[in-house]
Amino acid sequence: MDELDERIIELLKNDSRCPFVDIAERLQVSEGTIRSRVRRMTDEGVIKGFTIKTSSRNVKAMVEIRIDVNANTDEIARMLADQKGVTEVYEVTGDQDIIAIVDVETSQQLNDIIEGVRRQDNILSTRTRLVLKEHFGVD
């Protein structure tokens, strides 16, 4: 990956529907260059998919999870990722081991997810942070 690839990715992160011709114009290269580079990065797995971000009118939270040192972190993360309402799961460093981003319609649904996590073996603690306001990067 070079600087041009990184700039293409940054533009697509901000707007995954941005037309290649617009990206080419902004980066002062041909549309064909953008198309071939995006195809190559997708084929190589650098770009894993295209998505959208919505402004949530729901209950959105970060659920931080600390697990037992002998637990299979990957297994717990995959279980979380399969939960309805869990949009992202990260294995992280620091005091907590996993962070799950939850976006649900009600606080009861959030509580149900948290209670389900707490019932799992090897979960030592959870800490939940409600999202009060979202800011998305724009050019």
100-120: pLDDT as tens digits: 999 988 899 999 999 999 998
- With a cut of 60, say whether residue 138 has pLDDT above it: no
Q: What number is the average pLDDT over the span 83-95? A: 93
10-57 pLDDT, tens digit per residue, is: 888 878 888 999 999 999 999 999 999 999 999 999 888 877 666 556
Distance of CA 35 to the CA centre of its chain: 24
What predicted TM-score, i.e. pTM, was given to this entire model?
0.62
Q: Is 73 helix (H, G, I), strand (E, B) or coil?
A: helix
Q: How far apart are CA 82 and CA 56, in angstroms?
A: 20
> Structural domains in the chain?
3-43 (1.10.10.10), 59-130 (3.30.70.920)
Average pLDDT across the chain, whole number: 89
31 in Cβ contact with 21 (< 8 Å): yes
Q: How far apart are CA 80 and CA 84, in angstroms?
A: 9
49-86 pLDDT, tens digit per residue, is: 877 666 556 899 999 999 999 889 999 999 999 999 89
59 in Cβ contact with 110 (< 8 Å): yes
